[in-house]
């Protein structure tokens, strides 16, 4: 309905955004209100580097964005009816018995996770863990981070009474309700996708306290009105807090205009999440060997996907290159000499660092390929390597699920990258449909609209199809092959 606005807070690893949106005649109308940077903060621990998120700094920007939303909606003769937060996954806050934040929120790229997953496998074989959780093995899954926390600072976990994922923490500060939203809970690796509950077995096996895990709520859950102090501070009187699909990737999948069950998606941002929407989890030996994850989607669906390192490598290179913008880099890459393909998922790419261009060059050198020198050449190696990896992962997806992928939907910031989309079409030999760009925000807004009953009978994907134009890329002849 025309005067009811929803506010989405969308936190990404490199920046956050606050936007408001409403559904009018089956189309989404979005107003971008506030953008702010995000990134790791270095804090030493016993002389070693540790990375945190500036969670209070983010919260301050969120409050500012909410105040802007209230004023803007009023100036349009409307009002804000709901607020919801999505963010990256796996990271969490621990609260004590008084609901006070303990220790801050660690960044998933922090060195405190080094070696933890490998040690965990010594006592709990990977295949057993996969059979119980169906989660891709990544060294920063919440499970390993909790073990790292226990190792570094045992007092923290001992005092913890509540674990909240990042969006859950903000929902708690907005509404006073401490719950875990399902799509993000499913990334922890102590959630069982079959029972759809926390996995007592896994928690017990690692001697982790199940009592700190709150109730799981569905995406779309109404968490009540904004706390009076927050309504006062932001001017949003009467607005409700509605949990969207709080894992950003789950929101992006809501906004991917998939038309049939053979359509695949790539949610392309800091990470590239390559996968399909399934009606149930796949915990087979083949899925384990391909190291796919079974994350929870909306309406009981499974996000069967794989994390690929993504545009992170280029984001870090940009810092070394005086923050040259993505469009310039894409143009330079398009005309640069290419040909070298590196393993973008090499663990050496995981930590932040000003030497990211050097890391790309070193991998080319090690594999006896032409070493890129210019910005454009380095970016081209990364983009072509991403495209080759997408092709390989989609091939694995087809093998494990027995489906033949018809179309690949690229959503998120990477959908703007023309050469990357074309090289993806070439490498996968599939039609690539690019857009929408702001998929995480759009999915967040549309789930709030559906839950509040302001979008009428149209489904979120129908709204996306009616609202956003897409760009289609057909495979062309190219050197890039799977």
Q: Which stretch binds ligand LFR (CB under 6 A): 126-134, 244-252, 281-289, 333-341?
A: 244-252
CA angle 111, 216, 11 (to 5 degrees): 50
Q: 284: which residues sit within 8 A by CB, 6+ positions away?
A: 400
Upper half-sphere CA count for residue 430 (Cβ side, 13 Å): 26
Q: How far is the CB of 115 from ligand LFR (least distance, A)?
A: 19
Q: How far is the CB of 14 from ligand LFR (least distance, A)?
A: 10
Rg of the chain over CA atoms, in angstroms? 22
CA angle 41, 47, 51 (to 5 degrees): 20
Q: How far is the CB of 236 from ligand LFR (least distance, A)?
A: 26
Structure tokens at 364: 């080319």
Task: Give 410-427 as a DSSP string.
Answer: EESGGGG-HHHHHHHHHH
Q: How far is the CB of 307 from ligand LFR (least distance, A)?
A: 5
C-alpha 390, offset from chain centre:
17
Please pick, from the candidates 5, 53, 92, 108, the single residue that binds ligand LFR as defined by CB under 6 A: 108
x/- track of binding to ligand LFR for residues 288-307 (CB under 6 A): -------------------x
Which of positions 305-334 make contact with ligand LFR (CB under 6 A)?
307
- SS3 per residue for 170-216: HHHHHHCCCCEEHHHHCCCCCEECCCCEECHHHHHHCCCCHHHCCCE
3-state secondary structure of 364: helix
Distance CA 303, CA 258 (A): 13
Distance CA 86, CA 93 (A): 15
Which of positions 150-209 make contact with ligand LFR (CB under 6 A)?
none
Catalytic (active site) residue 96: no
Nearer to ligand LFR, 70 or 297 (CB): 297
Beta strands in 269-405 (DSSP E): 272-278, 293-296, 302-308
H or E stretch covering 251? helix 248-254
Q: How far is the CB of 66 from ligand LFR (least distance, A)?
A: 22
CA angle 141, 56, 219 (to 5 degrees): 50
Nearer to ligand LFR, 23 or 166 (CB): 166
Does the footprint of ligand LFR cover residue 248 (CB under 6 A)?
A: yes
Distance CA 431, CA 76 (A): 41
Nearer to ligand LFR, 7 or 89 (CB): 89
Please pick, from the candidates 90, 276, 287, 439, the single residue that binds ligand LFR as defined by CB under 6 A: 90
Q: Which stretch binds ligand LFR (CB under 6 A): 20-28, 56-64, 270-278, 342-350?
A: 270-278
Question: How many residues form the binding site for ligand LFR (CB under 6 A)?
Answer: 13
Centre a 10 Å sphere on the Cβ of residue 327 and count the other Cβ atoms it contains. 11
Q: Which stretch binds ligand LFR (CB under 6 A): 83-91, 152-160, 219-227, 454-462?
A: 83-91
Q: Which stretch binds ligand LFR (CB under 6 A): 169-177, 267-275, 277-285, 346-354?
A: 267-275
Nearer to ligand LFR, 272 or 454 (CB): 272
Does the footprint of ligand LFR cover residue 273 (CB under 6 A)?
A: yes
Q: 203: which residues sit within 8 A by CB, 6+ positions away?
A: 190, 209, 210, 213
x/- track of binding to ligand LFR for residues 122-161 (CB under 6 A): ----------------------------------------
Q: How far is the CB of 78 from ligand LFR (least distance, A)?
A: 30
User: Annotated catalytic residue: which of 91, 248, 260, 355?
Assistant: 248
Structure tokens at 60: 């301050």
Please pick, from the candidates 144, 271, 292, 390, the single residue that binds ligand LFR as defined by CB under 6 A: 271
Q: How far is the CB of 313 from ligand LFR (least distance, A)?
A: 15
User: Nearest CA to 326 among 339, 314, 341?
Assistant: 314
Q: How far is the CB of 287 from ligand LFR (least distance, A)?
A: 17
Nearer to ligand LFR, 273 or 290 (CB): 273
Q: Which stretch binds ligand LFR (CB under 6 A): 84-92, 201-209, 256-264, 428-436?
A: 84-92
Enzyme catalytic residues: 248
Interface with ligand LFR by CB under 6 A: which residues?
12, 88-90, 108, 247-249, 269-271, 273, 307
């Amino acid at each position: 309905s025309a005067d009811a606005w929803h506010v989405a807070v969308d936190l990404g690893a490199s920046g956050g955004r606050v936007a408001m949106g409403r559904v009018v005649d089956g189309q989404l109308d979005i107003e971008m209100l506030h953008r702010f940077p995000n990134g790791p903060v270095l804090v030493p621990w016993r002389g070693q580097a540790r990375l945190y998120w500036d969670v209070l700094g983010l919260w301050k920007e969120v409050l500012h964005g909410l105040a802007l939303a209230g004023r803007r909606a009023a100036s349009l003769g409307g009002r804000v009816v709901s607020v919801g937060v999505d963010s990256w996954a796996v990271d969490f806050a621990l609260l004590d018995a008084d609901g006070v934040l303990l220790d801050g929120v660690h960044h998933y790229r922090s060195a405190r996770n080094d070696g933890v997953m490998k040690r965990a496998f010594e006592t709990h074989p990977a295949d057993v863990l996969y059979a119980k959780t169906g989660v891709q093995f990544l060294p920063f899954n919440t499970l390993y981070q909790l073990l790292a926390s226990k190792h570094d600072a045992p007092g923290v976990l001992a005092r913890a009474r509540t674990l909240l994922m990042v969006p859950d923490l903000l929902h708690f500060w907005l509404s006073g309700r401490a719950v875990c939203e399902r799509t993000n809970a499913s990334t922890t690796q102590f959630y069982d996708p079959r029972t759809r509950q926390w996995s007592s077995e896994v928690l017990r096996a690692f001697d982790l306290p199940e009592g700190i895990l709150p109730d799981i709520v569905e995406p779309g859950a109404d968490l009540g009105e904004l706390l009076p102090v927050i309504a006062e501070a932001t001017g949003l009187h009467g607005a409700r807090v509605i949990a969207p699909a709080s894992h950003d990737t789950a929101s992006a999948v809501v906004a991917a205009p998939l038309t049939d069950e053979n359509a695949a998606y790539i949610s392309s941002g800091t990470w590239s999440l390559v996968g399909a929407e399934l009606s149930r989890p796949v915990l087979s030996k083949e899925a384990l060997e391909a190291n796919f994850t079974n994350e929870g989607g909306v309406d009981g669906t499974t996000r069967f996907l794989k994390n690929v390192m993504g545009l992170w490598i280029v984001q870090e290179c940009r810092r070394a290159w005086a923050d040259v913008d993505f469009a310039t880099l894409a143009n330079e890459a398009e005309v640069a000499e290419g040909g070298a393909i590196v393993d973008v998922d090499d663990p050496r790419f995981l930590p932040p660092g000003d030497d990211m261009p050097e890391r790309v060059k070193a991998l080319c050198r090690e594999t006896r390929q032409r070493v890129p020198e210019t910005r454009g050449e380095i970016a081209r190696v990364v983009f072509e390597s991403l495209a080759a990896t997408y092709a390989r992962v989609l091939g694995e997806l087809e093998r494990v699920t027995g489906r033949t992928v018809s179309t690949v939907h690229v959503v998120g910031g990477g959908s703007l990258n023309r050469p990357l989309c074309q090289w993806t079409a070439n490498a996968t030999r599939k039609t690539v449909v690019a857009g929408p760009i702001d998929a995480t925000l759009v999915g967040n807004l549309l789930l709030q609209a559906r839950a509040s009953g302001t979008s009428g009978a149209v489904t979120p994907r129908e709204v996306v199809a009616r609202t956003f134009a897409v760009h289609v890329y057909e495979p062309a002849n190219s050197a890039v092959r799977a």
